[in-house]
């Protein structure tokens, strides 16, 4: 009796396990399930957890990995609008968008990679042919159009990939190289752009230097004019003061004033050379002082006065002396 009960229990558990295995399936995070009934799609399940279906061969659950993944194309040689060959290595970020379309058109990840590679190369040739090489390689930021080219490439790939149930979120260029025959031309173009940019900087610097020099010359001329004006004013004031002093001295003692002026003239003629020799007549001014007498001053007092004059050493000899 007890053995029969045990058999019934084991049988029920086994049957329940078989029913559970045939009707239940689990969807993990990042996966999706496509439930088909007699080969036709019934529903798509994206929510993770335990789900139910009718047992096989009525229903069948196919699981797909819907996480984003990165695909790299082969190196493809493409011709630009200005007839330059470029070798590009592109990439695409993709995932399964429509499991049923993907299952019918592709079926596996390897087949999806082949479809993406063909799509990317075709779209790449179509888009690049509408742009010059300077849109990909240039030292001028205004000529570069890599972002716009990538957007056009994404639009071209997205439209075609919908036929395979593939969703592409981003495409881009991972590497760009040039054939040997184009490298020299590209480098020459880059050197010319750099030289043009350097010439612009040099012209700007020279223009700024000329402006600074002009401002400096104007300021120097202004300072010189002010200094000359100030010097002329000071000189005029000094000459006026000297003339006033001379006039006051002459008014006090005219004969003494004339005598001192003759001494100053004599000193100016002889200069400061101690070895100078000057031969003039004693009756010529201002050497007449050596022979004439001044009221109030004896003739013998003239020589000591001359000896006291600074930087004065001379010999005066006349034909009559």
The pLDDT assigned to 10 comes to 73
Nearest one of 167, 92, 164, 99 to 124, comparing CA atoms: 92
- H-type alpha helices, 41-145: 99-105, 109-128
Q: Which two tokens stand for residue 18?
A: 């078989």
pTM of the model: 0.48
The pLDDT assigned to 310 comes to 41
Given a cut of 90, is residue 131 above it in pLDDT? no
Q: What is the mean pLDDT of residues 163-180?
A: 83
Given a cut of 70, is residue 207 above it in pLDDT? yes
Instruction: Give strand pairing partners of 35.
Output: 43, 61
Residue spans per domain, the chain: 2-64, 69-178, 254-308
Of 41-55, 95-109, 137-151, 218-232, the range with the highest mean pLDDT is: 218-232
Residues 158-169 pLDDT 10s: 876 778 888 888
Of 95-99, 122-126, 222-226, 265-269, the range with the highest mean pLDDT is: 222-226
Nearest one of 157, 149, 171 to 90, comparing CA atoms: 171
Residues 29-64 pLDDT 10s: 778 787 777 777 777 777 777 777 777 777 787 888
Fold of 69-178: Tetrahydropterin Synthase; Chain A (3.30.479)
DSSP states of 196-239 = HHHHHHHHHHHHHHHHHHHHHHHHHHHHHHHHHHHHHHHHHHHH
Given a cut of 60, is residue 13 above it in pLDDT? yes
| Selected residue with higher pLDDT from 75 and 208 | 208
Contact 89, 120 (CB under 8 A): no
Confidence at 289, pLDDT banded by 50, 70, 90: low
């Amino acid at each position: 009796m007890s053995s029969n009960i045990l058999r019934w229990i084991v049988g029920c558990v086994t049957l329940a396990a078989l029913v559970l295995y045939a009707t239940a399936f689990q969807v993990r995070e990042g996966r999706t399930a496509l439930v088909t009934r007699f080969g036709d799609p019934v529903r798509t399940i994206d929510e993770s957890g335990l789900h139910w279906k009718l047992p096989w061969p009525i229903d069948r659950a196919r699981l797909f990995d819907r996480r984003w993944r990165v695909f790299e194309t082969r190196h493809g040689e493409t011709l630009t609008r200005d007839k330059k060959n470029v070798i590009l290595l592109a990439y695409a970020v993709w995932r399964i968008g429509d499991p049923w379309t993907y299952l019918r058109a592709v079926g596996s990840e390897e087949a999806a990679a082949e479809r993406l590679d063909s799509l990317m190369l075709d779209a790449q040739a179509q888009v690049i042919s509408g742009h010059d090489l300077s849109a990909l390689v240039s030292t001028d930021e205004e000529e570069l159009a890599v972002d716009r080219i990538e957007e056009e490439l994404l639009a071209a790939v997205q439209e075609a990939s919908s036929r395979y149930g593939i969703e592409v979120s981003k495409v881009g260029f991972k590497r760009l190289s040039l054939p040997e025959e184009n490298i020299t031309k590209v480098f020459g173009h880059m050197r010319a752009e750099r030289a043009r940019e350097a010439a612009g900087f040099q012209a700007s610097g020279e223009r700024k230097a000329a402006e600074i020099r002009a401002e400096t010359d104007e300021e120097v001329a202004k300072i010189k004019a002010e200094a000359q004006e100030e010097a002329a004013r000071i000189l005029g004031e000094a000459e006026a003061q000297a003339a006033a002093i001379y006039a006051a001295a002459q008014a006090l003692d005219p004969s003494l004033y004339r005598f001192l002026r003759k001494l100053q003239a004599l000193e100016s003629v002889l200069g400061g050379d101690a070895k100078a020799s000057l031969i003039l007549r004693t009756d010529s001014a201002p050497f007449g002082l050596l022979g004439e007498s001044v009221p109030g001053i004896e003739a013998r007092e003239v020589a000591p006065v001359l000896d006291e004059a600074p930087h004065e050493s001379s010999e005066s000899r006349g034909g009559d002396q």
